[in-house]
Amino acid sequence: MRTLVVFMLTPFLFFAPALSAESARPRIAIGGISHESNSFNPSKTKLADFRRRNTEPFDQVLLEWAKSNDEVSGYIEGAGRLGLELYPGLVAAADPKGPVTDEAFNTLVEELIRRLRSAPRLDGLLLANHGAMVVESYPHGDAEMVRRLRQVFGPAFPIVVTHDFHANISPEIVKDSTALITYKENPHIDTKERGMQAARIMAEIVSGKVKPVQAIAKPPMMYNIVFQYTQVAPLRPIVDESRLLEKNPKILAVSVSGGYQYADVPAMGPSVVVVTDNDPVLAAREAQRVADMLWATRDKIVLNLPDAAPGSANGHGRQHWWRLVGRQHLHFG
Ligand SMILES: [Zn+2]
């Protein structure tokens, strides 16, 4: 009924950053190709729909990227505090719409890989993806992207991924990434905080302090968007639990994502991802325990919608529809 998968990237035990003479600091790339795809929307998201952040002039790029209030600016602030050198790769995003075309996906991923390969030396990648990307040929575009990055850069290359709270996370991306974390809050008030957390995990990986292993548990449910407000029950106590667990020094991150329900894909739905320092049993146990907390709220997230005919006759359906749309607009991508 419930799925639980544990992944380890064993080469990290022996991983040491390759430092060149030009800089003693680890050099970490920033990348990201973000899209929240509605698979029921027939209007495809094309290459022209994606906006790329400037990557030139090189010495001003990070200053410009640091002005945003998101995970990328969190990476930059965290890296500055932790002594990481940053390399701006490719950061691109498109507004939510139908699935991404194969052409757009392949072009952007190839561009990201080309940019990363052109760096003199890289010790890791911080990847800011929304996490609910559907591509024409790939039901989980984010997982396919990380699979390709892993294939190019090898099993020992640290890839720390940050996702939106509305990510639909698959076991594949948990297998291929080194660590994956999502925003804890909806509305998304902790984007920068999560970016800083990702930078911290990356710094600990490249300095050899930690060896992340992670597990995902997905309760067999859909968490309707009207119940995804994290400041109140039923989600608030579960988000609080994720913060409490992160006080354990063996636990690097605990993410509870609500999922994005407008996508008819296998990974649709809420997820719990737990990243530990080389403790797969702890990661699996806590991921399942927090997923069980989500599952236990199932009776509290039932929507009693009127049938279409009586609903439209008395105006209730229309009011309710507007309430749903209004709530959906509480989150930004
Ligand atoms: Zn969101």
HEC string of the chain equals: CCEEEEEECHHHHHCCCCCCCCCCCCEEEEEEEECEECCCCCCCECHHHCEECCCCCHHHHHHHHCCCCCHHHHHHHHHHHHCCEEEEEEEEECCCECCECHHHHHHHHHHHHHHHHCCCCCCEEEEECCCECCECCECCHHHHHHHHHHHHHCCCCCEEEEECCCCCCCHHHHHHCCEEEECCCCCCCCHHHHHHHHHHHHHHHHCCCCCEEEEEEECCCCCCHHHCCCCCCCCHHHHHHHHHHCCCCCEEEEEEECCCCCCCCCCCCCEEEEEEECCHHHHHHHHHHHHHHHHCCHHHCCCCCCCHHHHHHHCHHHHHHHHHHHHHCCCCC
Domain boundaries, the chain: 3-213, 308-333
Cα(130) to centroid of ligand 1, in Å?
Answer: 8
Highest CATH level, class, for 3-213: alpha beta
Distance CA 7, CA 214 (A): 6
Per residue in 49-106, pLDDT (tens digit) is: 999 999 888 889 999 999 999 999 999 999 999 999 999 999 999 999 999 999 999 9
pLDDT at 304: 83
Average pLDDT of the chain is: 89
Q: For residues 325 and 91, which has the higher predicted lDDT (pLDDT)? A: 91
Per residue in 284-321, pLDDT (tens digit) is: 999 999 999 999 999 999 988 888 776 666 555 445 54
Over residues 218-232, the mean pLDDT reads: 95
Chain position carrying tokens 């001003």: 60
Query: Would residue 269 be called left, alpha or beta, if left means φ above 0 and alpha means ψ between -120 and 50 degrees?
Result: left
Over residues 249-265, the mean pLDDT reads: 98
Cα(120) to centroid of ligand 1, in Å?
Answer: 35
pLDDT at 303: 85
Q: How confident is the model at residue 150 (pLDDT cuts 50, 70, 90)?
A: very high
Percent of the chain's residues with pLDDT above 70 = 86
Cα(59) to centroid of ligand 1, in Å?
Answer: 31
Q: For residues 225 and 275, which has the higher predicted lDDT (pLDDT)? A: 275
Chain position carrying tokens 């199932």: 298
pLDDT at 308: 78
Cα(51) to centroid of ligand 1, in Å?
Answer: 18
- Give the pTM: 0.88
Per residue in 4-56, pLDDT (tens digit) is: 555 544 333 322 333 344 578 999 999 999 999 999 999 999 999 999 999 88
Over residues 163-192, the mean pLDDT reads: 98
Cα(128) to centroid of ligand 1, in Å?
Answer: 13
Cα(158) to centroid of ligand 1, in Å?
Answer: 25
Cα(78) to centroid of ligand 1, in Å?
Answer: 22
Per-residue pLDDT at 328 exceeds 80: no
Cα(305) to centroid of ligand 1, in Å?
Answer: 24
Cα(95) to centroid of ligand 1, in Å?
Answer: 12
Cα(188) to centroid of ligand 1, in Å?
Answer: 7
pLDDT at 139: 98
